[in-house]
Amino acid sequence: MSAIGGPGVIPLTYAIVLVGLLVGVGISIALLNSEADSREGGFLWLAAIPAIAAVSYLLMALDIGVVSVDGNEVYLFRYIDWLLTTPLLVGYVAYVAGAPRKWILGVAAADAGMILVGTVATLLTGIATWIGFGVSALFHVVLLSILYLVLPTYVEAHPRRRRLFKVLQNHVGLLWIAYPAVWLLSPAGVGTVSTVGTAMIIAYLDVVAKTPYVYFVWRDRTAFVEDDGEF
Ligand code: RET
């Protein structure tokens, strides 16, 4: 039994996070029904993000898809959620920048590589885990390089999108660094933080990574109208 109440707190945390994600679903529905052009804004792709995460958290709250690695519980739906939603999160930043399809797909692929290798690393043990961590972290560096070195060159041509791009770029660029850091401290890494502690920190990070993101787009939904455009 840990100081924060043992494994029982995990489903409770997941239920709380589920509520936070449903707020994100609500914001995306509002966005889809807003005066802004949802095709131009790619809002359907965006709406998928909190929706997929909400389904995953519902399954995790119900203890579905939990496997044991080295005596530690691994929630598989966390990684399935990440595999589907993080390419969307990062690909959408490229879309907001007005980057061509090859960069939208390129940054999404670097992300998918990071999550896939990271998931395998989590499921393995010993030296293989650390090699996997290193490869996954390399993908993360590629992703960050595209985010900060490539995408800004495209947003120059879209002045109305600049503010939203900057907000999303830093939201993804800074917040996501917490994930490998937490992983390193978790039982999958050095084990300073317990399974329960890790599950709780990641759960809150996930909701912060998604619901405010959707809110930022909602706040700047007029960014997708060209300068002479009107609602
Ligand atoms: C892992 C472990 C291996 C090294 C790295 C990782 C990075 C994970 C990231 C996850 C982001 C998740 C988000 C979820 C939103 O709901 C796989 C932890 C680099 C960056 C944003």
pLDDT digits (tens, 9 = 90+) for 60-81: 888 899 888 888 778 889 999 9
Residue 4 has pLDDT above 80, yes or no: no
- The two three-digit tokens of residue 7, written as one number: 């494994």
Residue 157 has pLDDT above 60, yes or no: yes
pLDDT confidence of residue 6: 54
Q: Is the CB of 180 under 6 A from ligand 1?
A: yes
Whose C-alpha lies nearest to ligand 1, atom 17?
Answer: 118
Contact 206, 17 (CB under 8 A): yes
- pLDDT band per the 50, 70, 90 thresholds, residue 142: very high
Q: Which ligand 1 atom is at minimum distance from the Cα of 140?
A: 19
Q: Is the CB of 221 under 6 A from ligand 1?
A: no
Q: Report the distance separating Cα 106 and Cα 119, nearest Å.
A: 20
Q: Over the stretch 91-124, which tens digit does the pLDDT of each residue have?
A: 999 999 999 999 999 999 999 999 999 999 988 9
Q: Report the distance separating Cα 48 and Cα 81, nearest Å.
A: 11
- pLDDT band per the 50, 70, 90 thresholds, residue 7: low
Q: Is the CB of 136 under 6 A from ligand 1?
A: yes
Whose C-alpha lies nearest to ligand 1, atom 19?
Answer: 137
Q: Is the CB of 129 under 6 A from ligand 1?
A: no
- pLDDT band per the 50, 70, 90 thresholds, residue 32: very high
Confirm whether the ipTM is greater than 0.85: yes
pLDDT confidence of residue 3: 39
Whose C-alpha lies nearest to ligand 1, atom 15?
Answer: 206
Q: Over the stretch 43-60, which tens digit does the pLDDT of each residue have?
A: 999 999 999 999 999 998
pTM for this model (two decimals):
0.92
Cβ neighbours of residue 172 closer than 8 Å, sequence gap 6 or more = 89, 90, 93, 147, 209, 213
pLDDT confidence of residue 229: 45
Whose C-alpha lies nearest to ligand 1, atom 2?
Answer: 118
Distance 153 CA to ligand 1 centre (A): 26
pLDDT confidence of residue 72: 78
pLDDT confidence of residue 2: 40
Contact 81, 53 (CB under 8 A): yes
pLDDT confidence of residue 97: 97
